[in-house]
Structure 1
Amino acid sequence: MARILVADDHDALREGMTLSLSRLGHEVQAVKGGAEAIAAYHKRPFDVVVTDLRMIPVDGIEVVRRLRADYPDATVLVVSAHGTIAVAVEAMREGAIDFLEKPFSPEVLRARVEKAVEIARERRGAEAARARAAALDEDLVRAHAPHGLVGSSEPMRRVLDQVRKVAATDATVLVLGESGTGKELVARAVHDQGARRAKPFVSVSCAAIPEGLLESELFGHEKGAFTGAVRRKLGRFELAHEGTLFLDEVGELPPSVQVKLLRVLQERQFERVGGEETIQVDVRVVSATNRDLAAMVAEGRFREDLFYRLNVVPITLPPLREREGDVEELARAFLARAAPRIGRKVSAFAPEALALLRRYRWPGNVRELENVVEQALVFAEGELVRAEDLPEGLREAPPAAALPVLTGDRSLTDVLEELERQLILAAYERARGVKAETARLLGIKPSALYYKLEKYGIVKPGEPGEDAS
């Protein structure tokens, strides 16, 4: 028996759900709105919350957001007669474990709630593991993170914190991010910090295997299943039993394989190609993509139900251009790892080389940075990587125009003033200290420029500069 909270402002629907779930033997409490649901949960947490989406003044999204903020283990299922992909994605991103569109039968409601109860029990069982993980020193976790997850910027600290938290559970994870950001490294970190760390980590690229072979690669085949199947082959799911299966580029899965993958995620069982035996597996699935799966669902190119199964806990990796300060840290880590392997006694970067690395946009992200460091090592002479050792394209690239990310430690006014100071300084240097030319480049009056030059300490008060004759 589980304690279930039902929140719906429609009397008949609320009473119907309450009756249906009570018949399963659950203890059910019903409330008329979102505010009442949050208050009831604060008094005594429930195993599962079933909440309507459209309620006034506090809607279902806010219920999910508030409960998950105060109780990270809260298990919430959202129902609505206004179901859209965008709303479903928003609910899942806020932490809902499932989305059920009205109208639905009592049988469907019961099945979804029973699954939610199972998830709630799994979360309670993982509570002790989460507590132990939370007690780990964050710096220690970062020190043991794989190369590519190195970074102390605010975006990466958030990612590392998400990895630490989700690793202590057995939830299905979807890693999102541009190509080269290190999505497989996140998957490995989730595995290595979780309870399955001593079991296999099996990786498969859904885009690298021909469509005709992908089903056999994932689920295995029996001898004689098709031409060339001269022996039984175990699939990646069986090889990952009790461990973690990483599905890279999951957005490339063909529809036929999507159907079979959905069944494995739902029922934890499958048959090999050409086989009749049902195989039971215990596998944690971590998938990754640089595609917009929600858009693919809307276009009919990816199954909606599979998307929700994969997107239980999304982790978004920021592109390198948004990780202020991490480029230097990553470059040094790659240098320390690659130099002995390449046979170079290079220990650091010259200041001008670091300046070029910091200003580059890194369209290829962390993977491109690693390649650049290794290429520079090949040409480096002495103990430093110098600017001339870096690829020509990088040396000639225009400076990045990345905006700072506000993290709460500085006000908007402070950030804007710093940007203004940098722009004025860049123009002043380009004009070789000629104030009239600097004002022209900036499109401001000379009198305004003089004030700002002194304000930001670029020139001393009363300094004539190079305009004076």
Structure 2
Amino acid sequence: MADILIIDDHDSMREGLEIHLRRRGHRTHAASGGRAGLDLLQESPMDLVITDLKMAKVDGMQVLREVKQAAPETEVLVITGYGTIETAVEAMKLGAADFITKPFSSEEFGVKVDRLVADRAEKAALRKENLALRVENAQLKEEGTGQVRYGEIVGESAAMQEVFRWIERVARSDSTVMVYGESGTGKELVARAVHAGSRRRDRPFVRVNCGALAEGLLDSELFGHEKGAFTGAERKRRGRFELADSGTLFLDEIATITHATQVRLLRVLQERELERVGGEETIPVDVRIVAATNTPAEELLEGEFREDLFYRLHVVPIQLPPLRSRIDDVPLLVSHFLEKLRARTGSPVREVGASALDALMSYDWPGNVRELENAVERALVLADCEILQADDLPPLGENGRAVPMPQSRTPAPGDTFPDGGMDLNRAMEGLEERLLRQALDQAGGVKAEAARLLGLKPSALYYKLEKYGIEA
């Protein structure tokens, strides 16, 4: 449900639009002219303003200018008659979210309104999240040098202090950033910190997991599509580039995109414009790119990744260290996760004891910071004490080190169980791990293809890869 202001000097048109939008569950407000509409907007904030372009005295263009000046977060939909398309395009340049040409069907009108309302809600959520990050970063800067947190990134080791310095330097510019690091090291957190420290901080931060979508779906997700562009494209849809316009677009798992998508992405980066899938209209975009991958730079260049696209992305590289190379940060991270997760889990734990910290610091953390956070959360959920000890931790392997899964085989007829029986769960996990590795090898490391081969959803595949510490 949204608050929508309709401005039109034709009574029948205005009343008809009101009735239709109320049936769709929206709250409507109406004005019979541009000045009356602007006065109403000063009294009550609106999510969306729908204005006719041609009106006496104060026309739709003036309404648009004053709305975007007084309430830039309010979306504007312009209604235009046939023959005034050029004026409608000019309105888009001035900040209109979309336009609709008379005559139009009630269904076409309703779909446009619903999409604009949904887009505004998404942008509002992103602005709220970015504001929280900005406030936190400002507080950290006030604490002086040698900070141990940058947004949600935690670390006091020399390696992490260097990461903080790089974020601080690059955030002030509009340069493209490439974040390298193993799975679970916090690449998205770096992207969010870069955005929060930039001049685009009040604009959208939009994330795309390139490895979670098949080629056709990824193109539609990135660049949008026109109605009828492919089976199931029942309406026009703006892509993530358009949603991130004037903000930051985070392209996670960039190494997984196909050659065809690489070509389209390269064009957008070079020309700062795009065409939706199935469309011919050229749409300008102003987006700052932060990309991330767990593939080292030299392997990207040796593989099938386009060299020209690589150098477009690899303008400012930031390398995140694995947790095993900054193990002294574990106590600080554990304290951070304890504070973050205690309320969510309802745990009585108030402190992590020395034996628990010793165990956590002796493990090599193949899943990096994400694995550590998961381990702390599981311990908080299961523990019924105030001081967490080593016995309260989930299993971390023999002597606190990662233990490789045992090799298993299908039992042959006549086989007998070894002394002590057989651990069926461990045997099945060993088989599952081998199948995961085999599928990744067969798919050339492309996770979406590996998920298809295994008959899994991409999200399920990612969970299992993280579970076994498999990197792709």
Instruction: Give the TM-score normalised by structure 2.
Output: 0.54
Question: For this pair of structures, how many residues does the alignment match?
Answer: 266
Alignment check: 8 A CA contact 1:293 1:302 kept: no
Structure 2 match to 1:350: 353
Residues 82-161 of structure 1 mapped to structure 2, 5 A cutoff: 136=141, 139=144, 142=147, 145-147=150-152, 149-161=153-165
Q: Which residue of 1 aligns with 2:254?
A: 250
Deviation digits for residues 210-233 of structure 1 (CA, Å, limit 9, x no counterpart): 112111110000001111000000
Residues 448-463 of structure 1: pairs in structure 2 closer than 5 A: none
User: Are residue 264 (structure 1) and residue 276 (structure 2) matched?
Assistant: no
Partner of 2:387: 384
Q: C-alpha displacement at 1:397, in angstroms?
A: 2.8
- By how many angstroms is 1:346 displaced? 1.3
Distance 2:218 2:146 in 1: 35
Q: Is the CA contact (8 Å cut-off) linking 1:387 and 1:395 kept in structure 2?
A: no
The answer to whether residue 379 in structure 2 is matched with residue 372 in structure 1 is: no
Give the aligned residue type for 1:304.
E
Tell me the residue number matched to 1:167: 171
Where in structure 1 are there 5+ consecutive unaligned residues?
Answer: 1-132, 401-469
Matched residue type, 2:316: V
Q: Does 1:206 align with 2:204?
A: no
Partners of 2:316 and 2:401 lie apart in 1 by 37
Partner of 2:229: 225
What residue is the counterpart of 2:240 in the other structure? Answer: 236
- The 3-state SS of whatever aligns with 1:322 is helix
2:366 maps to which residue? 363
- Aligned-residue offset at 1:396: 3.6
Letter in 2 for 1:184: E
- Mark the CA change 1:139 to 1:317 in structure 2 (over 3 Å): closer, same or farther: farther
C-alpha distance 143-320 of structure 1, shift in aligned 2 (>3 A): closer
Counterpart in the other structure of 2:287: 283
Residues 143/252 of structure 1: CA separation in 2 closer, same or farther (3 Å cut): same
RMSD value over aligned CA atoms? Answer: 2.2
**Aligned-residue offset at 1:376:** 0.6
- The alpha carbon displacement at 1:333 in A equals 0.3
- Counterpart in 1 of 2:438? none
CA-to-partner distance for each residue in 1:366-405, whole Å, 9 max, x for gaps? 00000000011112122111111111234643499xxxxx
User: Deviations 1:70-107 (Å, cap 9, x if unpaired)?
Assistant: xxxxxxxxxxxxxxxxxxxxxxxxxxxxxxxxxxxxxx
Matched, 1:192 2:196: yes
8 Å Cα contact 2:222/2:239 also seen in 1: yes
The letter of the residue matching 1:361 is: D
User: For 1:223 and 1:142, how far apart are their aligned partners in 2?
Assistant: 50
Q: Tell me the CA shift for residue 249 of structure 1.
A: 0.3
CA, structure 1 residues 243+144, in 2 after alignment: closer, same or farther (shift >3 Å)? Answer: farther
CA contact (8 A) 2:266 2:309 kept: yes
CA contact (8 A) 2:363 2:400 kept: yes
The equivalent of 2:124 in structure 1 is: none
Residues 211-259 of structure 1: CA deviation (Å, up to 9, x unaligned): 1211111000000111100000000000000000000000001000000
Any idea what SS the aligned residue of 1:286 has?
A: strand
AA aligned to 1:357 is L
On the 8 A contact 1:223/1:232 being kept in 2, the answer is yes
| Aligned-partner Cα distance in 1 for 2:382–2:162 | 36
Against the structure 1 CA distance between its residues 379 and 184, is the aligned structure 2 distance closer, same or farther, given a 3 Å change threshold?
A: same
Contact 1:356 1:394 in 2 (8 A): no
Distance 1:138 1:323, change over 3 A: farther
Q: 1:327 to 1:394 in 2, by over 3 A?
A: farther
Aligned pair in 2 of structure 1 residues 395, 357: CA closer, same or farther (>3 Å)?
Answer: farther
C-alpha displacement of 1:203: 0.2
Matching residue of 1:340: 343
Equivalents in 1 of 2:365, 2:335: separation in Å? 16
Native 8 Å contact 1:224 1:231 kept in 2: yes
Name the SS for the 1:174 alignment partner. Answer: strand
Shift of residue 142, structure 1, vs aligned partner: 4.1
Contact 2:396-2:402 within 8 A present in 1 as well: no
| SS of aligned partner of 1:392 | coil
SS, match of residue 372 in structure 2: helix
State the one-letter code of the partner of 1:145.
Y
Q: What stretches of structure 2 of length at least 5 have no aligned partner?
A: 1-137, 404-472
Aligned partner of 1:392: which letter?
Answer: P
SS at 2:207 equivalent: strand
1:255-334 to structure 2, matched below 5 A, reads 255-299=259-303, 301-334=304-337
**Which secondary structure state, in structure 2, belongs to the residue aligned with residue 221 of structure 1?**
coil
In 2, Cα distance between equivalents of 1:265 and 1:258: 10
**Distance (Å, rounded) in 2 between the aligned partners of 1:352 and 1:198:** 44
Superposition TM-score, scaled by structure 1 size: 0.54
Alignment-mate amino acid for residue 317 of structure 2: P
Q: In structure 2, the residue corresponding to 1:330 is in which secondary structure? A: helix
CA deviation string 1:277-298 (max 9, x = no partner): 1010000000000013432323
CA distance in structure 1 between the partners assigned to 2:142 and 2:239 by the alignment: 38
Aligned partners of 1:138 and 1:256: how far apart in 2? 47
